[in-house]
Structure 1
Amino acid sequence: MKITQLRNATIVLEFAAGARPVALLVDPMLAPQGALPTLRYLGGQRRRNPLVDLPDGSDAVLSRVTHALITHCQRGHFDHLDRAGKRLLRERAIPVACMPRDAAYLAARGIVVQPLAGPGRQPFLGTGHITPVACVHGHGWVGRLMEHGHGYLIEMPGEPSVYIAGDTVLTPEVRDCLTRLRPDVAVLPAGGARFDLGGEILMDGRDVLGACGLAPGTVVANHLEALDHCPTTRAGLRALAADAGLGERLWVPEDGESREFLRRVPVQAGALAEQVSAGG
């Protein structure tokens, strides 16, 4: 499996398993720099979004896309599906998987929708499986104003399992996914987003480090340095991980950066005993 970080929560997952390769586009925000409104309304920190353009090479990555997946897209969440993203999905007739709540909204915009069945593990992309995991996009009164959506655990044959958290704080559901479902790779939002009033609506750097202690495999941090209400920086997050001795467990990709992941093969007790006795 190959993961390419494009910008913010927009990533492309490429799976080689099966008769035809799959390139899965997640939450496309494809607008040019500054084409979208600010998400801060008080003080001097207001800037139009996105803060940066798509990285070089994005067109080549997007040209490979065969399917798309949406975590949430209503109630003003242009950072997960903007007009440019809708246009790409519509013009190329890319089949889009989503939760049933979003199906009518997307279909009304001319998008080819393949809604999931709802909660629970279910078939996905012909040969794989997907398990929706509920998000909590902020606590308290600000949380009641948000569109919470779902993350997804994706399992494709012969590939590492990957959990895409969506927009969420570190909840019991997220912890359960990491500890019980044990994804090989977990993609988590680390931006620490907050509005002018109210608490955080995303995990911040310390939450992501806490998740590293729960996840069995690699944690990938995104939702960074692309929106004006996300204060976490890549440099700050990498420094936190290094101080905690978690630098090898956490990947903080630059926009446009890719990495390939192999499936983890758990070491059986008998095999481990043989390695120890042989001095391995």
Structure 2
Amino acid sequence: MHITHLRNATVLLEFSCQGRPVGLLVDPMLAPRGTLPALRYLGKGRERNPIVDLPPGTDEALERVTHALITHCQRGHFDHLDSAGKRFLRERQIPVICMPRDAGYLAQRGLVVLPLSGPERQPFALGGHVTPVACVHGRGWIARFMEHGHGYLLELPGQPSVYLAGDTLLTPAVRDCLARLRPDVAVLPAGGARFDVGAEILMDAADMAQAAALTPGTLVVNHLQALDHCPTTREAVRALAQQGGWDHRLWVPEDGERRRFLPTDTAVCY
């Protein structure tokens, strides 16, 4: 399996299903830099989003897309499916895998929808099995305004198991997935996102250290340095991993970076 990190939560998983190449695009935010609203309203850190361009090679990567997977997309969560992402999926009639809650919303926007059956482990449209894992995208009063969504554990024949966490805090459900289901690769959000008021709505660098203690697999960290309300830097995560001695199991990709992951959990950088 190859994983290409494009920007923020947008990644491309590439693998083979019954001898056919599959390109699974996760949470496409494809808008040009600075064309989406700011997510902070006070202070000097406020910028229009995304705060970085899509990386070189994005067009070539998108040509390899055959399917899409959405963790959440309602209540204004443009950072996981924006207008440009919808247009891309609609124009190319890319089948979109999602939870039942999002199926109607996506179908109304002209997308080809392949809804999962619910929150239980189930056969996956691309082979193997998928297990949805509920997200908690903030606690307290701020949680009332958030779309919590689901992450997904993908178990595909002949491929490393991959947990795509989605937007979530380090909850008991996430801990259980890491410790009990033991994915070979866990793609986790470490941006430490927060608005001008309220608590964090996303994991941060310190949560990555806790996650590393729960699973022997590789941690892939995203949600970094792409949105104005995510203060965690790549350098902060790498430094903490080095201090804790788990940096050999960490990949903090630059935008556009691609790696190959084997079932043995060995990664090769391309």
* TM above 0.5: yes
How many Å apart are 1:264 and its aligned residue? Answer: 2.7
- For 2:4 and 2:10, the matched residues in 1 are separated by 9
- For 1:181 and 1:18, the matched residues in 2 are separated by 25
User: Which residue of the partner structure matches residue 204 of structure 1?
Assistant: 204
How many Å apart are 1:250 and its aligned residue? Answer: 1.1
- Tell me if 1:139 matches 2:131: no
TM-score normalized by the length of structure 1: 0.93
Structure 2 letter corresponding to 1:144? R
Conserved? CA contact 2:97–2:114, under 8 Å = yes
User: Which residue of the partner structure matches residue 177 of structure 2?
Assistant: 177
Pick the structure with greater CA Rg.
1
Cα-to-partner distance string for 1:210-247 (whole Å, 9 max, x where unaligned): 10111121000000000000000001111111111111
User: Which residue of the partner structure matches residue 193 of structure 1?
Assistant: 193
- For 2:235 and 2:126, the matched residues in 1 are separated by 40
How many Å apart are 1:174 and its aligned residue? Answer: 0.1
Structure 2 letter corresponding to 1:54? L
User: Which residue of the partner structure matches residue 252 of structure 1?
Assistant: 252
- For 2:172 and 2:213, the matched residues in 1 are separated by 14
Please list, as runs of the form range in 1=range in 2, the aligned pairs for 1:1-80 lying within 5 A after superposition. 1-80=1-80
Structure 2 letter corresponding to 1:234? R
Structure 2 letter corresponding to 1:251? W
How many Å apart are 1:17 and its aligned residue? Answer: 4.3
Change (3 A) 1:232 1:220: same
Please list, as runs of the form range in 1=range in 2, the aligned pairs for 1:77-88 lying within 5 A after superposition. 77-88=77-88
Conserved? CA contact 2:162–2:183, under 8 Å = yes
Structure 1 letter corresponding to 2:250? L
Ranges in structure 2 where 5+ consecutive residues have no aligned partner: 266-270
Indicate the larger mover: 236-245 or 166-175. 236-245
Conserved? CA contact 1:17–1:158, under 8 Å = no
User: Which residue of the partner structure matches residue 268 of structure 2?
Assistant: none
Q: SS of 1:118's equivalent?
A: coil
Indicate the larger mover: 125-134 or 230-239. 125-134
- For 1:128 and 1:55, the matched residues in 2 are separated by 31
- For 2:53 and 2:10, the matched residues in 1 are separated by 12
Conserved? CA contact 1:17–1:159, under 8 Å = no
- For 1:141 and 1:208, the matched residues in 2 are separated by 25
User: Which residue of the partner structure matches residue 153 of structure 2?
Assistant: 153
User: Which residue of the partner structure matches residue 242 of structure 2?
Assistant: 242
User: Which residue of the partner structure matches residue 263 of structure 1?
Assistant: 263
The CA RMSD measured in Å over matched residues stands at 0.9
Q: SS of 2:23's equivalent?
A: strand
Structure 2 letter corresponding to 1:145? F
- For 2:106 and 2:28, the matched residues in 1 are separated by 13
User: Which residue of the partner structure matches residue 274 of structure 1?
Assistant: none
User: Which residue of the partner structure matches residue 130 of structure 1?
Assistant: 130
- For 2:245 and 2:169, the matched residues in 1 are separated by 23
Structure 1 letter corresponding to 2:124? F
Please list, as runs of the form range in 1=range in 2, the aligned pairs for 1:211-226 lying within 5 A after superposition. 211-226=211-226
Cα-to-partner distance string for 1:54-89 (whole Å, 9 max, x where unaligned): 000000001000000000000010000000000000
Percent same amino acid among aligned pairs?
A: 72
**How many residues matched?**
265
Cα-to-partner distance string for 1:162-220 (whole Å, 9 max, x where unaligned): 00000000000000000111100000000000000000000000001110111121000
Indicate the larger mover: 45-54 or 138-147. 138-147
- For 2:255 and 2:149, the matched residues in 1 are separated by 24
Ranges in structure 1 where 5+ consecutive residues have no aligned partner: 266-280
